[in-house]
Amino acid sequence: MKVEDLIAKHWHHLPIEEVVELLESEREQGLDRFAVEHRQEAFGPNAITAQKGQSPLIRFLLQFHQPLIYILIASGLITAILGEWVDSGVIFGVVLVNAFVGYIQEAKAVNALAALARTMTTVATVMRQGEKRQIPATELVVGDIVFLQSGDKVPADLRLFQVRDLQIAEAALTGESAPVAKDHGLHGRETVLADRHNMAYASTLVTYGQGKGIVTAIGDATEVGRISKLISAAEALATPLTRKISEFSNVLLYVILGLAGLTIVVGLLRGQPFLEMFMAAVALAVGAIPEGLPAAVTITLAIGVSRMAKKRAIIRKLPAVETLGSTTVICTDKTGTLTENQMTVQEIVAGGVSHTVSGTGYNPLVGTIDNLENAADPGISSALRECLRAGFLCNDSQLVEEEGVWQIQGDPTEGALLTAARKGGLGPETLTVNPRLDTVPFESEHQYMATLHDGGLGAPRLVYLKGAVEAVLARCITQLDRMGNPVPLRIEDVQAAVESMAAKGMRVLAMARAEMAPETCVIHHADLPTTMVFLGLQGMIDPPRPEAVAAVKICQTAGIRVKMITGDHPVTAAAIARQVGLYNLGSTRGDGVPVLTGAELEKLSDSEFIDRAEDTVVFARATPEQKLRLVEALQARGQVVAMTGDGVNDAPALKRADIGVAMGITGTEVAKEAADMVLTDDNFSSIEAAVEEGRGVFDNLTKFIVWTLPTNLGEGLVILTAVFLGVTLPILPVQILWINMTTAGFLGLALAFEPKEPGLMLRPPRQPDAPILSNIVIFRITLVSFLMLGAAFWLFAWEQRIGATLAEARTAAVNAFVMVELFYLFNCRSLEKSIFKLGFFSNLWVLGGSVAMFLLQIAYTYLPVMNRLFQSAPIDLAVWGRTVVAGVVVFVVIEIEKKLWLKKGRVGA
């Protein structure tokens, strides 16, 4: 195959035979191993090269593009013009350090998110060497034969040659949101991309039906590869909170600039020299602006993302980290999320007789069906056999045995039916006798699957149907009696059997059969007969996940309501709900679990719907459209809703929910694309763990803000007070810069690593519209700021009074400031609990950061180069003692303050 064969071909305009020939492939068998290896070597993986976003240099330069930095640069330039070389040098040094730190932090956060994105691989179903298999989409080569089905993301550009009601949403490529119906006919050469209906393009989403096509382009050569652009890092990292904080910083900037101007005016009026007042104004501006805040928020969120990934919750959209913390309702699927998705048939009702099936798991060799061979009454076994046959033939899954372990490839519900059929003596020959001719696949909106089979020479064709009881019974008019003869359907008896099985928590599937004309080759939903013979019921258990039971309990104590939304039968749903501990007030069914079915929901008016959405715990036989309505109804009541989903039709509800949660194992690509978060283990307990992490992240953000703001406010106050009182500045601008740059990194960031507080899930969820800082916390910030102001002036005055030089007195004031920040950091490890309760060693980052910060202050005080740069001077031990006293006083005051507030209620927002 030559490369030029692949380039700029109008594949949509070529007959399929020619396409297959040009691509040197084979329609039925697919490529062989050698061709695949050869092509992989020649053309590389099927991946789009991430377009280089901004170059590192540009990203570094962008760090200077902040109002605060403009002020610093302007101050640095003016100080240089005024001949203050050292000050100017330090200011520029700090600007550079700030840019470096910002650059590294941003790069880390971007990399963390990109690494997570890479863990989400897409799989493709291909035909190779005559074998259908699933491979990572990156291993696809040109010429591969690919199968598409509803929910898939198209893995490469394909020329379609077989379609069945195939519809693809091509918004990613054309911007058109309505799905396009595909065909396999020929299209004119000039047909525009959006109208090439015999092509499927990489990155678009299959919303309905099935198809088969041959790969015409991979990776960068695909249509999407040619237009792809990397989302800019800034956009990916922005969240409502970071936006709120930068807005806050911008407002603050103007306030501070105003105050700085006022400082100059007041100083000049008092007859102070301009240079000194200008430097004071610079100090005020530099000190009062919380420049570390945006970076700290981003890095805390990024740490949250990686913590959640460890708990098997992959965050796709950063704002989700924040929203998770304020989730008030979780709407969850049942199968696989609250339950194990390990199905075993335990009871079969056929011919009016109930049979018990023993054994658990998929191993068909362990366990039997009672009354299977009742020689005296062959009719029983024939009804039973037909019921088992339906489960076996109308089935897309496979049982496989590897080293004595029996596993299922495909849907566990179908796996259970295969195991039961094997326990009943049916083997692979069943399919040889009645080969399958066509399929109506299972879609949750229809709740059944049907297959067409050859009935043998001259015999009519057979349709087997399996699915939800209501869906199957609606098409039946007769049933098999004990002797296996058709008799009129006795709906009440069937319903009673269903209720009895469902009450034990079993998922019940009904089976039916019909004869079709011998020439029938294809079947559609519309031509399934409504005169079918009901064959029986198979009831399977799916045990609840023990960890889900525990997680539901945690959610309930955390004030989060858990609702189950399932496609299953209401009685089964209620039984499982009871087993996992979902209970509440409201309408009830059975013995006290409030359940509503999709059909009942349909009958409600809009306002009734909203009421019932709030007070109902279990929604059974619910459709994906109702999931969307439920999300909207709950949101109308101010709830913050997390909603799970896996199917194509769940996408709108996932998008609409505050947190859309897709299943990583059973979920379709469409659902994952729409979700904010993907669970790699499909497990409910992972949602709970993510919520817990979300609360922890928000806590740590608040703690950082509560720690950092007093420094800024305190520094601003020191300058303002000095100028207004007309006294010497206790701290110089360069010294303020030093404090801000070092403490934010060494002390403040350690709070991002603060472990979650015990009792985190005993609190109610955070109100989403609550301000970040509560009044109590604002009070604390103000209190600490004034204590810092007091400490700085106290030490500055004390040292001068006992004869210290100006440089020594200022060094004492700076060290007092840092010491207060250091002790206060320990207070901030919890907003309401005493640090003695948390233990001093539970965040080693705080301890390590404190030691590093202390060593830096030693260097600041004693190294001659630092003395020259920052006008610091060596001080003796007694002065250090006084700085420590300042720190301890603040620490004790805040611990007492916490205790006082705690008596009155919660401290945090």
Catalytically active residues are 333
Reference 740, options 66, 285, 62; nearest CA is: 285
Q: By the 8 A CB rule, do 822 and 835 touch?
A: no
The two three-digit tokens of residue 259, written as one number: 């105050």
Instruction: Select from 353-361, 524-532, 560-568, 889-897 the region that touches ligand ATP (CB under 6 A).
Output: 560-568
Shortest gap between Cβ of 411 and ligand ATP (angstroms)? 5
> Given the complex with ligand ATP, which of 485 and 666 has the nearer CB atom?
666
One of 422, 466, 629, 766 touching ligand ATP (CB under 6 A): 466
Instruction: Select from 161-169, 249-257, 462-470, 586-594 the region that touches ligand ATP (CB under 6 A).
Output: 462-470
One of 567, 710, 733, 908 touching ligand ATP (CB under 6 A): 567
Question: Is position 627 an interface residue for ligand ATP (rule: CB under 6 A)?
Answer: no
Reference 693, options 706, 677, 682; nearest CA is: 677
**What three-state secondary structure class fits 379?**
helix
Interaction residues for ligand ATP, span 477-516 (CB under 6 A): 507, 509
- Rounded CA gap, 396 and 438, in Å? 12
Who's near 160: CB < 8 A, 6+ residues apart? 166, 182, 183, 184, 198, 199, 200, 211, 212, 213
> How big is the CA angle at 515 (ends 513 and 520), to the nearest 5 degrees?
120
Q: How far is CA 297 from the centre of its chain?
A: 19
The two three-digit tokens of residue 236, written as one number: 């990916």
- Rounded CA gap, 220 and 779, in Å? 57
One of 347, 481, 542, 568 touching ligand ATP (CB under 6 A): 568
User: Which amino acid makes up residue 185?
Assistant: G
One of 167, 198, 216, 335 touching ligand ATP (CB under 6 A): 335
Shortest gap between Cβ of 701 and ligand ATP (angstroms)? 34
Q: How far is CA 267 from the centre of its chain?
A: 55
The two three-digit tokens of residue 35, written as one number: 């061709």
Shortest gap between Cβ of 682 and ligand ATP (angstroms)? 9
Who's near 299: CB < 8 A, 6+ residues apart? 105, 108, 109, 749, 752
Q: Residue 781: how many CA atoms within 13 Å on its side-chain side? A: 21
Q: Which residue is nearest to ligand ATP (CB)?
A: 567
- Rounded CA gap, 288 and 709, in Å? 8
Helix (H) or strand (E) holding 163, with range, is strand 157-169
Question: Is position 551 an interface residue for ligand ATP (rule: CB under 6 A)?
Answer: no
The C-alpha torsion from 823 through 825 and 829 to 833, rounded to 10°, is: 40
> Given the complex with ligand ATP, which of 72 and 620 has the nearer CB atom?
620
User: Which amino acid makes up residue 642?
Assistant: A
Question: Is position 340 an interface residue for ligand ATP (rule: CB under 6 A)?
Answer: no
Shortest gap between Cβ of 559 and ligand ATP (angstroms)? 25
Instruction: Select from 141-149, 176-184, 563-571, 742-750 the region that touches ligand ATP (CB under 6 A).
Output: 563-571
Shortest gap between Cβ of 395 and ligand ATP (angstroms)? 8
Q: By the 8 A CB rule, do 670 and 651 touch?
A: yes
Interaction residues for ligand ATP, span 373-392 (CB under 6 A): none
> Given the complex with ligand ATP, which of 147 and 442 has the nearer CB atom?
442
Question: Is position 316 an interface residue for ligand ATP (rule: CB under 6 A)?
Answer: no
> Given the complex with ligand ATP, which of 417 and 822 has the nearer CB atom?
417
Shortest gap between Cβ of 828 and ligand ATP (angstroms)? 43
- Give the pairing type, strands 353-356 and 344-350: antiparallel
Q: Residue 649: how many CA atoms within 13 Å on its side-chain side? A: 14
One of 148, 264, 468, 617 touching ligand ATP (CB under 6 A): 468
Residue 438, strand partner residues: 452
Shortest gap between Cβ of 151 and ligand ATP (angstroms)? 12
Tally helices (H) and strands (E) across the chain.
33, 26
- Give the pairing type, strands 659-663 and 677-679: parallel
- Rounded CA gap, 112 and 364, in Å? 45
Shortest gap between Cβ of 419 and ligand ATP (angstroms)? 14
Question: Is position 347 an interface residue for ligand ATP (rule: CB under 6 A)?
Answer: no
Question: Is position 470 an interface residue for ligand ATP (rule: CB under 6 A)?
Answer: no
**What three-state secondary structure class fits 825?**
helix
Q: What is the chain's alpha carbon radius of gyration, rounded to the nearest angstrom? A: 35
One of 153, 334, 453, 766 touching ligand ATP (CB under 6 A): 334
Number of residues forming the site for ligand ATP (CB under 6 A): 21
Interaction residues for ligand ATP, span 431-450 (CB under 6 A): 442, 444, 447-449
One of 216, 566, 597, 827 touching ligand ATP (CB under 6 A): 566
Question: Is position 162 an interface residue for ligand ATP (rule: CB under 6 A)?
Answer: no
Interaction residues for ligand ATP, span 414-433 (CB under 6 A): 414
Question: Is position 182 an interface residue for ligand ATP (rule: CB under 6 A)?
Answer: no
Q: By the 8 A CB rule, do 214 and 17 touch?
A: no
Reference 770, options 304, 241, 40, 321; nearest CA is: 241
Interaction residues for ligand ATP, span 78-97 (CB under 6 A): none
Helix (H) or strand (E) holding 735, with range, is helix 733-746
Instruction: Select from 155-163, 531-539, 564-572, 704-712 the region that touches ligand ATP (CB under 6 A).
Output: 564-572
Instruction: Select from 398-406, 407-415, 593-601, 897-905 the region that touches ligand ATP (CB under 6 A).
Output: 407-415
Question: Is position 538 an interface residue for ligand ATP (rule: CB under 6 A)?
Answer: no
Shortest gap between Cβ of 469 and ligand ATP (angstroms)? 7
Shortest gap between Cβ of 313 and ligand ATP (angstroms)? 18
One of 84, 165, 220, 411 touching ligand ATP (CB under 6 A): 411
Helix (H) or strand (E) holding 438, with range, is strand 436-443
Instruction: Select from 48-56, 200-208, 334-342, 760-768 the region that touches ligand ATP (CB under 6 A).
Output: 334-342
> Given the complex with ligand ATP, which of 48 and 643 has the nearer CB atom?
643
Q: Count other Cβ atoms within 10 Å, centred on residue 193.
A: 12
- Positions touching ligand ATP (CB under 6 A) are 333-336, 411, 413-414, 442, 444, 447-449, 466-468, 507, 509, 566-569
